[in-house]
Amino acid sequence: GDSVTQMEGPVTLSEEAFLTINCTYTATGYPSLFWYVQYPGEGLQLLLKATKADDKGSNKGFEATYRKETTSFHLEKGSVQVSDSAVYFCALSDRGSSNTGKLIFGQGTTLQVKP
């Protein structure tokens, strides 16, 4: 079945460092890909998305490019801030195999940014 694999955390960085969180996926159809962020005590918030190969999603300085050839959707940010500390989830939605549009999530990667 469809699945998402993220790099294990926690990832600890100093402020202004470059961030990469790896995400790879397995899907039978043509999924849409997402990054969600969860701040402590809160629900998930959509960070960015891409709906087809070679699309680049971006928001708040974060970027991710849909790479069909490597089945990847790595999250990057050029300069992280303490306020970026959160848990990041990669997810896919494969409407081709199911009409529900359900999301399949990775296990999450905790990012800690130190001043």
- The contact set with other proteins (CB under 8 A) reads 4, 32, 34, 36, 41-46, 49, 51, 89, 91, 93, 95, 98-108
Taken as a whole, the chain contains a residue count of 115
Of 23, 31, 21, 45, the residue nearest 1 (C-alpha): 31
Alpha helix locations (H) across the chain?
Answer: none
Yes or no: say if 94 and 28 are a contact pair by the CB < 8 Å rule. yes
Residue closer to other proteins by CB (options 101, 115) is: 101
Residue closer to other proteins by CB (options 49, 77) is: 49
CB of 40 to other proteins, least distance (A): 11
CB of 11 to other proteins, least distance (A): 15
Report the 10 Å Cβ neighbour count for 69. Answer: 7
CB of 115 to other proteins, least distance (A): 26
